[in-house]
A and B are shown apart, each in its own frame.
Chain A
Amino acid sequence: MKKEFSVVGKPVIRQDGIEKVTGKSKFADDLVFPDMLFGVMIRTDHTHAIVKSVDYSKLDTNKFVIVNADDIPGSKKVGAIVKDQPVFCNEKIVTPGDVVAMLVGEDLNELRKAAKSVKVNCEELPVLSDPLKALDENAMLIHPELGSNKIVHYPLRKGDVDKGFGESEYILEEEYSTPLIEHAYIEPECVTAFIEPNGGIKIIGSIQNPHTTRRVVASVLNYPLAKVRVVQAELGGSFGGKDDTMNILSARAAVAALKTGSPVKIKYGREESILESYKRHPYFMKYKVGFNSDGKIKAMKIDITADGGAYASLSPYVTWRSVVQATGPYEIENVHTDVTAVYTNNPYTGAMRGFGSPQPIFAQESIMDEIAIRLNKTPVEIRKINGFKSGSFTASGHKLRDHDVNLFSVLERASDESDFEAKWNENQNGKSFDLFKRFAEKSIFSSEELLVKDDEFCDENIWKNGIGLALSFRGCSLGAEGIDAAAAYFSLQTDGSAYLLSGLAENGQGLRTTFSIIAAEELGISVNDIYYLEQDTGIIADSGPTVASRSTLMGGGAVKNAAEQVRKRLEIIFREKFNLDEKEEIKFANHVVSDYLGKVKIPFKKLVTLASSKGVGLSSVGWYKGPDVYWEEKTGQGEAYFTYAYGCQVAEIKVNIITGEVYIDKITAVHDAGKIINLLGAEGQVYGGVTQGAGYGLWETVDKVEGKIRDLNFDQYLIPTCKDVGDIKPIFIEGEEKYGPWGAKSLGEPTLELGAAAIANAVRNAVGQRHRNLPINLEELILSRKLSPEDLKRGSAV
């Protein structure tokens, strides 16, 4: 029987909404503590240098306290996977964001001036800024103690690619690249650390993963985990970005709090935030595909280099997702993939929404369209010929079963909804733009050549329409990256209200609301009966990080489990009261508990009071563990994730072929995220993710020279405004899924990973030219090249 839902799947208003619209929510910088001091960073002007000495002679040491590596009682270096990042860089600078020491004092403005009076004497080292040179024999080593600039290398081998290419009628080889991307959460980093009366240390800040922060702070202070308590303030956006940076800031604040005995707050402005925080990896991708005239892909060879920047951070996990998914949702007999992440002196890169998927999706979906065009097929046809069906094997040899493999459903729905094929064919026919060709062929022009002639374009020819699509599958949750389990605490009160908390943290995406809906559904109460507790490592178990779009699936699973435990106990009392036998199904809905046919019933509150009068425990800790997955490192084979989500986005755009401007008319986003728990929240994820994807496709790039970022604020780093994206249409297909709460899977990241690829394909459809290097900004479109100094080598014409 299909379950009828009373709250799940309906639009529900956010639980934390009222505080947010009235300005009452407390974000990290809104919190002040008595006797609070501030910490301000001391940096150098260098990208790569040995620190010879630090001259504090001009500093008023009565006013300011110096905090540096010598004050660290425990681990001086931290890192999620490789401990390569010093909390304070007292020996060597490997990227411009590096911090030598910190000054602590009362007045932020005075501190900033004082920090400038400190002179750091350095000996410069050569800078390695090109990731493609990182593994050269004579390359400068970023961390000599590690012996190599290689952070990680993942091979994936399936079948025999040489044989596959041999059997192919056509071979296509293309190279793609993507830029460095800033998370650009609107709230910059902020954290305060203080000593608790019991001698422990408490951290409160804009922290994405409180348990990870706790682990880092404890290791730096050399404290037992339980002596460090991390509380999350209201988080002003994260998108994967408030992890490593926040861990280090928290550690610095904690060390300073111990040294001074006062609460110490560190708050970053935008420039410092962009300077020091990690970003999304630039990828350099070579794709070689062998295929036949019937459209069937026989072999794919992929070689990807990811710029990890100065520290490993989560590069090994990010690039692992890439190796699993690099061939896209297509069944290919012979695959040979290598993904390598390397160290450079560039800003370091780590987790960001998408997590190793937006880059290969851009390449793989671009090349799929190129194959289609060469074979006179449509993008939909070529994807249907190769796409996953139930029972297909992924590149890692995982047989897809046990869930609805909804690849074709999302593709067909997106294509029908946008009238894709008709529009695509119409745009595709008869396109030729001399303008582009003439710019692409040369690099130096006379002024006459540059000017567009009067009669070259009349108004109606200036805008060209294009439509493009992108398709993906995405492994849900962590997969073989890590142990996948989560906890939740649910405590029903005697009056029927309840406390709820999960070990996964609210990042602004609406997780508190989603979890409350799940608990409310389970007990037939309303979301307003549930009070979501403060995220505090002191009261809830470590549930792994809030990443990988795993919250609804894993955290939601734990919440359901917790509420279920209490529900079962209530069911026993109900049966006792009405003499029902064990088989009788019991319904919890609309604050009433009844037998299935509604013959006997009791208000929920009364049942709770009755149960508590009988000494029944009304609190529970829920636990949800994902099924085991398996990965063979050497061959890249295995059941990488326990289930997958499917998505297809269609971009309809127009290109101004005089200015190179691309305007997005409409994006149709079709996602199978399993069961939708909160419709309003789910739609919000789509709008937000699609918009970030548009930024990735068209505008965003962190411009740097020799590791030094030039776009340190929003006047330079352009994120989409409300004017930049036309219509967005979210559509959900709810496939059956046995894991997660009622089959809910992942949505946050799928919404972001497809946009740039769909836009690139739409641009190709509009102007007849392939752009293989994101972003497709004005210069890429008109000149087929990038204009920023270090990016001159990137661009479709070079």
Chain B
Amino acid sequence: MKIDLEFTLNGKNVSIETEPGKRLLDLLRKDFKLTGTKEGCSIGECGACTILLDKLAVNSCLILAGQINGSDIITIEGINEADVLHTLQQKFLEHGAVQCGFCTPGMIISAYALLLEKPDPSYEDILNALEGNLCRCTGYKQIISAVQDSAKEMMQD
């Protein structure tokens, strides 16, 4: 059985016919060819597959296509305009918060969701927002300072 889905993906209205039981992660990576969202564990533990679903950071490996009709989805490919990096992306680079980069899209989306909700987050808020995103390379410190610095800069704008 297939169902018709309509939703907003990175600011555009899209529609697709697909199986309701397909994981959102596969829908994004395979059907929409948005491979920036990564798969690291498939069970909701690593956060590499984090996307923004109606302004909330969720693990797309745990969401099924049947659940997303009418919703607003943003992936790593959708947070910056053409050639200008989003502040978070820029700050991740400046702070050395990226090594292998596999966790990076999920990390940035988690931080993005945090700053939507709390533009001036405390240190604790940042830890709470990123706790579900595993990174084996960086030791997190530069990621945390990148998020702090982004918040500061975005507040000024």
Contacts and interface: CB of A to CB of B under 8 A. Distances in A.
B60 interface: no
Given A14-B96, A21-B92, A683 B142 contact: yes
B41, B75, B100 pick with most chain A CB within 10 angstroms: B100
Nearest to A688: B139
B141 interface: yes
Contacts of A723: 127, 131
Interface in A19-49: 19-27, 29-30
A126 interface: no
B68 to A, nearest CB: 19
A22 B101 CA distance: 10
A264 interface: no
Nearest to A694: B139
A507 interface: yes
B38 A20 contact: no
Interface string A232-270: 001111110000000000000000000000000000011
A315 interface: no
A687 B98 CA distance: 12
Contacts of B92: 17, 21
B134 A187 contact: no
Contacts of A19: 101
Interface residues of A, number: 56
B103 interface: yes
Interface string B119-138: 00000000100111111111
Interface stretch (A92-100, A597-605, A711-719): A711-719
A692 interface: yes
A722 B140 contact: yes
B36 A24 contact: yes
A509 B137 CA distance: 8
A728 B141 contact: yes
B134 A719 contact: yes
Given A237-B136, A687-B142, A22 B76 contact: yes
B100 A236 contact: yes
Contacts of A690: 139
A556 interface: no
Nearest to A691: B139
Contacts of A538: none
Contacts of A681: 96
A188, A236, A238, A722 pick with most chain B CB within 10 angstroms: A722
A689 interface: yes
Contacts, number: 172
A451 interface: no
Interface string B70-98: 00000111001000010011101111101
Nearest to A14: B98
A681 B99 CA distance: 8
A715 B132 CA distance: 11
Interface string A680-718: 110110111111100000000000000000000111000
Nearest to B144: A722
B100 A507 contact: yes
Nearest to A680: B96
A188 B40 contact: yes
Contacts of A463: none
Interface in A164-197: 183-188
A734 interface: no
A99 to B, nearest CB: 20
Nearest to B124: A723
Contacts of B102: 27, 185-187, 236-237, 508
A79 B133 CA distance: 35
Contact of A235 (B96, B100, B140): B100
B43 A715 contact: yes
A238 B101 CA distance: 12
B19 to A, nearest CB: 11
Interface string A485-498: 00000000000000
A224 B105 CA distance: 40
A269 B138 contact: no
A29 B99 contact: no
Contact of B96 (A24, A684, A691, A721): A684
A308 interface: no
- The bracket for how many chain B residues form the interface is 35 or more
B89 A22 contact: yes
A269 B38 CA distance: 12
A722 B143 contact: yes
B139 A23 contact: no
A314 B12 CA distance: 51
A22 B100 contact: no
Contacts of B38: 27, 186-187, 236
Nearest to B43: A713
A18 interface: yes
B99 A186 contact: no
B139 A21 contact: no
Interface in A448-489: none
A691 B134 contact: no
B18 interface: no
Contacts of A692: 136, 139
Nearest to B80: A22
A84 interface: no
B8 interface: no
A16, A20, A269, A689 pick with most chain B CB within 10 angstroms: A20
Nearest to B146: A21
A508 B101 contact: yes
A15 B137 CA distance: 17
B132 to A, nearest CB: 8
B41 A25 contact: no
B138 A14 contact: no
B133 to A, nearest CB: 8
A239 B96 contact: no
Contact of A688 (B94, B130, B137): B137
A687 B99 CA distance: 11
A691 to B, nearest CB: 4
B34 interface: yes
B75 to A, nearest CB: 7
Contacts of B94: 13
A606 to B, nearest CB: 30
Contacts of B76: 21-23
A22 B96 contact: no
A725 interface: yes
B98 A17 contact: yes
A586 to B, nearest CB: 33
B40, B42, B75, B105 pick with most chain A CB within 10 angstroms: B40
A731 to B, nearest CB: 14
Interface string B15-39: 0000000000000010000111111
A683 B143 CA distance: 12
B114 interface: no
Interface in A580-622: none
Contacts of A691: 138-140
A713 B101 contact: no
A236 B142 contact: no
10 contacts: A185-B102, A186-B135, A187-B100, A187-B102, A188-B40, A234-B100, A270-B46, A680-B95, A714-B46, A725-B140
Given A17-B98, A692-B136, A715-B43, 18 more contacts: A18-B89, A19-B101, A22-B36, A22-B89, A186-B46, A186-B100, A186-B103, A186-B136, A234-B100, A508-B99, A508-B101, A680-B96, A684-B142, A714-B45, A720-B139, A721-B130, A721-B134, A722-B130
Interface of B: 29, 34-43, 45-46, 48, 75-77, 80, 85, 88-90, 92-96, 98-105, 108, 127, 130-144
